[in-house]
Chains A and B, each alone.
Chain A
Amino acid sequence: MILLLLPSLSVAQGVDEILTPVAGEQLEEPDPGLDIPGAVTVLDRDNDAGDQLEVYFEPPADLEGILAYNIYRRAVSDEGNEDWSLVKIIPVIEPTEFIDGYDPEYPIEPGILYEYKVASTSITGEEFFGPVCRAEIVSQGEFYHTGKTRVLIAGALFIFLIFYYFGKAQRGFKMYLRPIAGIEAIDEAIGRATEMGKPVLYVPGLSTISDVATIASLTILSRVAKKIALYQTPLLVPNRDPIVYTVADEVVKQAYLEAGRPDAYDPDSVFFLTDSQFAFVAGVNGIMMREKPATNFYLGMFWAESLILAETGSLSGAIQIAGTDAVTQLPFFITTCDYTLIGEELYAASAYLGREPKQIGAVKGQDSCKAIIMVFITLALIFGIIDIVADTHILDWLRNIVTSPIID
Chain B
Amino acid sequence: MLNIDRRWIFLAIGVVSIVPFLIGIGMPVSTTVEVENIFDYVNELGKDDAIFISFDYAPGTQAENTPMAIAVMRHALHNDVSVFLTANQPLGHGMAIGALHYVTDPAIPDFYESVSFEDWSALRDAGIVDKDELVSAWESEGNVLPEGCSGWIFEGRDYALLGYAPVFNLVILGMTNSIEAQYPQDAHGNSTGEMPMLRDHKSLREVDLALSCSGSGACVWWITYAREKIGMPVAFGVTAVMATDYYPYIQSGQIIGQMGGLRGAAEYEVLLYENGVTVTTGKAFTGMDVQSAAHLLIIFLIIMGNIAFFAGGFHKKTALKGRG
Contacts and interface: CB of A to CB of B under 8 A. Distances in A.
Nearest to A309: B324
A104 B230 contact: no
A262 interface: no
Given A104-B180, A328-B241, A312 B320 contact: yes
B279 interface: no
Interface in B240-261: 241-242, 245
A317 B202 CA distance: 62
Contacts of B203: 102-104
Contact of B324 (A5, A104, A282, A406): A282
Contact of A4 (B127, B130, B181): B130
Contacts, number: 49
B181 A104 contact: yes
B7 interface: no
Contact of B196 (A1, A312, A406, A408): A1
Contacts of B200: 1, 3
A105 B48 CA distance: 19
Nearest to A287: B324
Contacts of B227: 406
Contacts of B202: 102-105
A298 to B, nearest CB: 15
Given A1-B196, A317-B317, A408-B229, A285 B178 contact: no
Given A102-B205, A104-B180, A286 B229 contact: no
Nearest to B199: A1
- What range describes how many residues of B lie at the interface? 20 to 34
Nearest to B227: A406
B91 interface: no
Nearest to B200: A3
A34 B269 CA distance: 47
Contacts of A289: 320, 324
B178 A1 contact: no
A282 B322 CA distance: 12
B324 A312 contact: yes
Nearest to A335: B302
Nearest to B241: A328
Contact of A327 (B127, B181, B245): B245
A286 B245 CA distance: 34
Interface in A102-158: 102-105
Interface string B46-66: 001000000000000000000
A316 B321 CA distance: 10
B40 interface: no
Interface in B279-324: 316-317, 320, 323-324
A229 interface: no
Interface string B169-196: 0000000111011000000000000001
Interface string B89-132: 00000000000000000000000000000000000000101100
A288 B127 contact: no
A382 to B, nearest CB: 21
Interface in A270-313: 282, 285-286, 288-289, 312
Given A104-B181, A105-B202, A406 B317 contact: no
A315 interface: yes
Contacts of B231: 406
A317 B318 CA distance: 9
Given A5-B48, A104-B177, A406 B320 contact: no
B63 to A, nearest CB: 15
B157 to A, nearest CB: 11
Contacts of B3: 315
Nearest to B127: A1
Contacts of A3: 48, 200
Nearest to B6: A311
A285 B242 CA distance: 27
B130 to A, nearest CB: 7
Contact of A1 (B2, B129, B242): B129
A54 B228 CA distance: 21
B26 to A, nearest CB: 31
Nearest to B315: A317
Contacts of A316: 320
Contacts of A327: 245
A105 B199 CA distance: 9
B188 to A, nearest CB: 22
Interface in A11-55: none
Contacts of A5: 48
Contacts of B228: 406
A152 to B, nearest CB: 15
Contacts of B180: 104
Nearest to A106: B202
A285 B202 CA distance: 55
Nearest to A318: B316
A376 B178 CA distance: 39
A126 B224 CA distance: 43
B317 A285 contact: no
Interface string B197-235: 001101101100000000000000000000111110000
A102 B231 CA distance: 14
Contacts of B317: 317
Nearest to A286: B324
Nearest to A290: B324
Given A5-B48, A289-B320, A328-B241, 19 more contacts: A1-B199, A3-B48, A103-B203, A104-B177, A104-B178, A104-B180, A104-B181, A105-B202, A282-B324, A285-B324, A286-B324, A289-B324, A315-B2, A316-B320, A317-B317, A328-B242, A406-B231, A408-B176, A408-B229
Q: Which 10 A-B pairs have the closest CB atoms?
A: A285-B324, A104-B178, A317-B316, A406-B231, A312-B324, A408-B229, A328-B241, A315-B320, A289-B324, A289-B320
Interface of A: 1, 3-5, 102-105, 282, 285-286, 288-289, 312, 315-317, 327-328, 406, 408
8 contacts: A1-B127, A1-B196, A1-B200, A3-B200, A104-B202, A282-B324, A289-B324, A317-B316
